[in-house]
Each structure stands twice: as C-alpha cells, then as structure tokens.
Structure 1
C-alpha cells in the first residue's frame, strides 16, 4: 500500500514545465500535426488530382495509369523524405529550433505550390521538395522534446508528440470531408501552406534546449555521421534503421491505400462517388483516433515492460491487423463494415511510431542525436519508396490492392527477429 502511495505522490510531484518548454512542445506538436495533414492530403486527393493532370501530361486517366502514376509520385515523395537526412547534421551544428522552423517552412511552401500544378511533372517536383521538408520535422521535433522536457516527463512527451501526426490525418480527413468535396484537390493543397505561421512562431518564441547548448559549448567540432556509423554506435544505428524501415513500410502500405480501399468497397456497396469519398474521410478519421490512442497507451507500457517487448506487441498487432483488413475483410461480399472495424485495430498498433520518438533519443548522445534520428528515419524512407513502387506495380499486375498490401504484414513478422538485437533503455536517463 505504501509503495502505491509513493508512486502516486511521485506522479503528483512531476517537474513542472516552464513557459519555453510548453511553447516548444506545442510548436513541435503543431508542426508535426500539420506535417501529418500534409502527408495524408496526397493520399486523399490522389485520384481526382491525377485524373485531371494525366490528360494534360499526355496520358489517359485510366484506373491503371492513375494507380501507377500515384505510386511513382509517392515513391518520389518518399525519396524526398529520405533526403531530409540533411536536416539532422544541420540541427546538431546550428540548433534544434532554427532548423525545425526551416523544415516546416519548406514543406508548407511547396505543398501550397502543388495547388498550382499544370501537369504531373510539376506536381512531382513540388511533392518531392515538400517531402524533404516533411521528413526532417519528426527527427527534429522528437529530438527537441526529448532534450527540452524534464527526465521524469519526456517519455510521455514522446507519446503526446506522436499524436500530432495522426491528429494531422484526422484534420486532413475533416478538410477533405468539407473543403475537398466542395472545392476540389487544389484547395486541399492550399490548406497545406498554413504551417508557415507555425514556422515563424517556432523561430520567434522557442528557446534552444539547454542540453544542446551545453553540448555545443564543450564539443570539439566532430563529424556526427561518421560517429554514428563508427564502432560505438554502428550496431544500434543499423538495428534502428531496420526497425524503422519495417514500421514505415507498414504505415504507408496501410494508410496510403486505405482511402482507395474504402472508396472501392463503398462503391461496391452502391454508394455514390461523393458518399464514397465522405465514407473514406470518416474511415480515415477513425484510423487517426485509434492511432492517437495507441500513441498514448505506448509510453506507460514501455516504462512497465520495456522498449523491446512493447515494440514486439505492436508489431504483432500490425501484422494481424494488416492481414485481417486487406487480406480478409477487403474480399468479403459485404466487406465495408468489417474493413473499417479492422482499421481501428490497424490504427491503434500503428502507434508504434511513438516508441521511436521515445527510444531513439535514449540511444545516442546529444552531440549526434539529431543526426542519428534523421539518418535512421531517412534510411527507412528510401526503402519505403522502393517498396511503395513495387506495391504499385503489384496492384497493377494483380488488378487488386488487397493482396499486395496484405503481404506487407510479413515485414512485421520479420521485425520480431530483429528486436532482440536492439538495446533496452528502460530506466536509463537521456545520455548527455
């Protein structure tokens, strides 16, 4: 009884956050939310945008061409995400907040410009550069919150931060349900320019983390990339890269094709085009809410049973949910309701990304932390780009999206054999 009382009183005595830490968190969270919104806008407007732009580019807007072009453009977007590695060394050299603002500014401007596209080539260029900006936001936001928040609060801070990305999915679905249906895909891309305001606020209102300032004062200028690939960090760097690659492949296979799958199932059920689009938006909203719940449930679980066991549970959940939704429910005669029900499970275990926001900063020292975070996430995005291209080709060849997406469940099964090679950091403080 006394130990329970001690834990309760310790929870009540958590270190209070100062104004800069609160402002910094909300700036990072808002950037990550709008980042998620921006990423998912493309999945929601893919079909109408390419239906209009393909004929202007000399190609017929057949379902097969729309699917193939969509996969190629998304692969380019993920390559841009991969190239976002450049932000990590910049943040280790010049500070977290300035470079974080730069990432938000980049993806906002080029998402807005996508609304002006006259053909698929222009859209591809704008989405590629937006991807470079979007890809850097997670690494810098996660690094900043880990360093700026007190040790007794940063674990939940990682969970809170990760909810932003999926709140962005929900926001994109809400915008598509209202603006997208009535004003079209160009208006949707224009809403993606809003984060410019957040970038300015981050730059003006948020102070650098004390950990980075202290590390900067005592650090002889080193080469962080060489260090994270050197003997000290090599193993944990590559293990983290593999685990993040699996998470990214699963997330994008499920999330990117989810609206298309729902639209197909809704149309099959006899809904009109607009009703099918609205149903896809509602399904995306459900997926987002479930993922937010998964993000919030993860940090307490990771503190209780450890990082590695928690990731294993979430990976098993992802494998089962992907197979159940795309491999089974998608092919039922009346599969719309079962598919949407499975999306809730898929969303909850998609919260596995919150673990990386918590776990990656614990594995690297301050002087190389942003570089390591950016490198590990970027590596996964390059592989994810290739897998996405193969998925598009498989969908085109098999004339169905269910089976190809369902096969990505195997990546999570493989991930269970990689997790034991990662370091367990439960109970350890953030390295200086």
Structure 2
C-alpha cells in the first residue's frame, strides 16, 4: 500500500508545464504533423499527378515511366531533405523558434506551389525546395522540446512529439479519401500550404528555450559543424548517422510503396479504381495509428531497458514486418487482408523514430545540439535518396515492388550490429 502511495505521489510531483512550454510543444507538434502530411501527400498523389504531367513533358504515361519518374522525383525530394542540415547551424546561432518557423514557411509555400505545376520539371523543383524545409523541422522541433520541457517530462515529450509525424500520415490519408478522390492531386498539394498559419503562430506565441539562451550568453561563437566531428563527438555522430540512415531507408521503403502495394492488391481482388484508392487511404490510416502507438510505447520502454536495447527491439520488429508484408503477404493469392494486417506491425515498430527524438539531444551539448540533430538526419536522407533511386530501378527491372522493398529488411539486421557502438544515456540528464 505504501509503495502504491509513493508511486502515486511521484507521478503527482512531476514538474508542471507552463504556458510557454505548452504553446511551444503544440507549435512544434503541429509543424511536425503538417510536415508528415506534406511528405506523404506525394506518395498518395504520385500516380495521378505523373499520369497528367508526363505527357505534357514529352513522355508517355506508361506504368514503367510513372514508376521511374516517381522514384527520380522522390529522390530529388530526399536530396532536398538532405540539404536541410543548413538549418541546424542557423538554429544554434539564432535560436530554435525563428528557424523552426522558417522551415515551416519553406515547405508550406513550395508544397502549395506544386499544385500549379505544368510539367514534371516544375513539380521536381517545387518538391526539392519543399524537401529542404521539411527536412529541418524534425531536428528543430525535437531540439526545442528536449530543451524547453522539464527533465522529468522531456522523454515522454519526445514520444508525444513523434506522434505528430504519423498523425500527419493519417491526415494525408483522410484528405486523400475525401479531397483527393473528388478534386484531384492539385487540391491535395494546395492543402499543404496550410502550415503557413502554424509558422506565424510559432513566431508570435513560442518563446525561445532557456537552455539555448543561457548557452548563447556564456559561449563564444563556435563552429558547431566542425565541433561535432572533433574528438569529443566524432564517434557518436557517425554512429547516429548510420542508425538514422537505416531507420530512414526502412521507413520510406515501406511507407512510400505501401499505397501502391495496397492499390495493386485491391485491384487484383477485383475492386474498382476509386475503391482501391479508398482502401489504400484506410490502410495508410491504420499504418499511422499503429506508428503512433509505437511512438507512445517507446519512451517508457527506453527508460526501463535503455536506449540501445529498445532500438534493437524496434529494429528487429521492422525487419520481420517488412519481410512479412512485402516479401510474403504481397505474393499470396488473396494477399490484401494479410498485407494490411502486417502493416499494423510495420507501423508499430516504425515508431523507432521516437527514440531518436529522445536519444540524440542527450548525446550533444546545447551549443551544437541542433547542428548534430540536423546533420545526422540529413546524412540518412542523402543515402535514402540513393536507395530510393535503386529501389525504383529494381522495381522497373523486376516488374514487381514486393521483393525490392522486402530486401530493405536486411538494413535493420546490419543496424543490430551497429547499435552496440552507440552511447547509452539512460538515467542521464540533458547535457548543458
């Protein structure tokens, strides 16, 4: 009885959040949600957009050309994501909130402009610049929440924040189910301009984190990009880059090709075109809900068994789920239901990204934290762009998307051998 009373009192003694911390979290969460929505809009409207734009660009809109052009444009988008490391040093120099708002402005405006595309070249340019903005949001939102929330709350804050990205997937699926089906792909891109409002609210309502203000006041001008490759941080920087690369490759292999896989399986099952699109939207919603659950389950597990063991559990789950969905269920005679069931497992373990929101800020001091976070995520996106291009070529060559995507499960096996080289930060406070 006393033990239960003690635990209850500990929960009640958690540091309360002030108005600025609450507003800051919701600003970061909303930006991250709309970021996820924006990212996934492209996967959902890929086929109809390229079917219209390829003939205007001098190419036949054959399934092979749509697949190849889609992979090339998505690779360009990921390269834009990779270039987003520029936001990190800016945030370490000028503060988290102003630069966070800048990233939201960038991806919102150029996503809206994608709706005006007359050919694939214009669409590629708009998606490339939108990618630069989208890529910076995670690093800055994760850094801001880690620094602004109290120590006894920031771990769960990382899990809560990461749910936003997958809530964005769910939102994109809902918009596609309603707006996309009735009004087309241009209307879907126009909805991506809405985050401009969030950027304005971030600038007006969210205060800078005290940790950054104190670090800025007591330190001389540093070169954070050079410092994260100095003797203090070099090893953890490269290990984080490798682990994030693996997570990104797995996420995009599964998430980007999931709608196309569901549409193919639904069509094979005899569904009409619009019904197949709706089924893909519902499957994406299920994937998103499962990932949100995975994000919420991760911080308590990381506190119990440690960061490294938690990532190993999630990486193992991802390997099994990708192989089970794309390597097995996709090829069953009646594979639609088993494939969707596997998507729930894939989604849950896709919540491994919440660990990086929690873990990366713990590995770097305040004066270089945003730079380290942005660089590590950007590195993974550059590699992800190359892998995505190779996947597109493999799909075109093999005339199937199941096996190429299933092979990305091997990346998570490699990750299990890299995890031991990362630092364990369980029980440590956020470094100043």
Q: Report the TM range for the smaller structure's normalisation.
A: over 0.9
Residue number in structure 1 paired with 2:419: 419
Deviation of 1:6 (Å):
2.3
Equivalents in 1 of 2:4, 2:425: separation in Å?
Answer: 24
Equivalents in 2 of 1:8, 1:251: separation in Å?
Answer: 38
Deviation of 1:349 (Å):
0.1
Deviation of 1:3 (Å):
4.1
The answer on 1:392 being equivalent to 2:424 is: no
Query: What are the superposed Cα offsets for residues 152-196 of structure 1, whole Å, 9 maximum, x if unpaired?
Result: 000000000000000000000000000000000000000000000
Equivalents in 2 of 1:2, 1:233: separation in Å?
Answer: 44
Query: What are the superposed Cα offsets for residues 392-416 of structure 1, whole Å, 9 maximum, x if unpaired?
Result: 0000000000000000000000000
* SS of residue paired to 1:319: helix
* SS of residue paired to 1:416: helix
Equivalents in 1 of 2:9, 2:80: separation in Å?
Answer: 47
Equivalents in 1 of 2:277, 2:323: separation in Å?
Answer: 24
* SS of residue paired to 1:338: helix
Equivalents in 1 of 2:347, 2:139: separation in Å?
Answer: 22
The answer on 1:248 being equivalent to 2:226 is: no
Equivalents in 1 of 2:372, 2:247: separation in Å?
Answer: 17
Equivalents in 1 of 2:253, 2:4: separation in Å?
Answer: 43
Give the alignment of 1:264-343 within 5 angstroms: 264-343=264-343
Equivalents in 2 of 1:216, 1:3: separation in Å?
Answer: 43
Equivalents in 2 of 1:362, 1:205: separation in Å?
Answer: 26
Query: What are the superposed Cα offsets for residues 218-254 of structure 1, whole Å, 9 maximum, x if unpaired?
Result: 0110100111000000000000000000000000000
Equivalents in 2 of 1:289, 1:402: separation in Å?
Answer: 23
Deviation of 1:13 (Å):
1.0
Query: What are the superposed Cα offsets for residues 21-45 of structure 1, whole Å, 9 maximum, x if unpaired?
Result: 0000000000000000000000000
Equivalents in 1 of 2:131, 2:12: separation in Å?
Answer: 41
Equivalents in 1 of 2:431, 2:419: separation in Å?
Answer: 21
Deviation of 1:8 (Å):
2.5
Query: What are the superposed Cα offsets for residues 363-402 of structure 1, whole Å, 9 maximum, x if unpaired?
Result: 0000000000000000000000000000000000000000
Deviation of 1:4 (Å):
4.3
Equivalents in 2 of 1:215, 1:237: separation in Å?
Answer: 21
* SS of residue paired to 1:428: coil
Deviation of 1:5 (Å):
3.3
The answer on 1:171 being equivalent to 2:171 is: yes
The answer on 1:58 being equivalent to 2:58 is: yes
Query: Unaligned 5+ residue runs, structure 1?
Result: none
* SS of residue paired to 2:417: coil
- Taking structure 1 as the reference length, the TM-score comes to 1.00
Query: What are the superposed Cα offsets for residues 244-288 of structure 1, whole Å, 9 maximum, x if unpaired?
Result: 000000000000000000000000000000000000000000000
* SS of residue paired to 1:417: helix
* SS of residue paired to 1:92: helix
Equivalents in 1 of 2:143, 2:180: separation in Å?
Answer: 34
Equivalents in 2 of 1:2, 1:319: separation in Å?
Answer: 43
Deviation of 1:9 (Å):
1.4
Deviation of 1:11 (Å):
1.3
Equivalents in 2 of 1:67, 1:7: separation in Å?
Answer: 55
Deviation of 1:326 (Å):
0.1
* SS of residue paired to 1:378: helix
Equivalents in 2 of 1:8, 1:49: separation in Å?
Answer: 54
Equivalents in 2 of 1:2, 1:430: separation in Å?
Answer: 31
Give the alignment of 1:36-55 within 5 angstroms: 36-55=36-55
The answer on 1:160 being equivalent to 2:166 is: no
* SS of residue paired to 1:207: coil
- Taking structure 2 as the reference length, the TM-score comes to 1.00
Equivalents in 2 of 1:247, 1:319: separation in Å?
Answer: 11
User: Which range moves more in the overlay, 238-247 or 9-18?
Assistant: 9-18
Equivalents in 2 of 1:90, 1:5: separation in Å?
Answer: 47
Equivalents in 1 of 2:90, 2:7: separation in Å?
Answer: 40
Query: What are the superposed Cα offsets for residues 83-120 of structure 1, whole Å, 9 maximum, x if unpaired?
Result: 00000000000000000000000000000000000000
Equivalents in 2 of 1:120, 1:20: separation in Å?
Answer: 43
Equivalents in 2 of 1:62, 1:204: separation in Å?
Answer: 48
Query: What are the superposed Cα offsets for residues 275-308 of structure 1, whole Å, 9 maximum, x if unpaired?
Result: 0000000000000000000000000000000000
Query: What are the superposed Cα offsets for residues 128-163 of structure 1, whole Å, 9 maximum, x if unpaired?
Result: 000000000000000000000000000000000000
* SS of residue paired to 1:418: helix
Equivalents in 1 of 2:428, 2:159: separation in Å?
Answer: 17
RMSD: 0.6
Equivalents in 2 of 1:68, 1:286: separation in Å?
Answer: 27
* SS of residue paired to 1:301: helix
Residue number in structure 2 paired with 1:33: 33
